[in-house]
Amino acid sequence: MRMDELKVGESAVILSFTDELMSLKLLEMGCIPGEKVTLERKAPLGDPIAISVSGYLLSLRIDEASTILVSKQ
């Protein structure tokens, strides 16, 4: 599933990325395959979202989050 499909409070493990250019940016921000992520918050209109990854909160746009493939835990 894609990260943007998670519900607030759900956790998952990053599997891979669907966009090569975006993956470089995400890797630099700590979104590494095998890393556990938790969807912490969504803005009132759904964009952006805040995820917990590598020990900090990261804000992502929905189009960025949709390029991250995850497996729910």
Amino acid 54: pLDDT? 87
Give pTM, 2 decimals.
Answer: 0.88
Which stretches of the chain are assigned E, i.e. beta strand? 11-17, 36-42, 49-53, 56-60, 68-72
- Residues 23-44: tens digit of each pLDDT: 999 998 889 999 999 999 999 9
* Separation of alpha carbons 53 and 48, rounded Å: 15
Amino acid 32: pLDDT? 92
* Separation of alpha carbons 17 and 2, rounded Å: 9
Neighbours of 32 (CB within 10 A): 12
**Are 71 and 2 contacting, i.e. CB atoms less than 8 angstroms apart?**
no
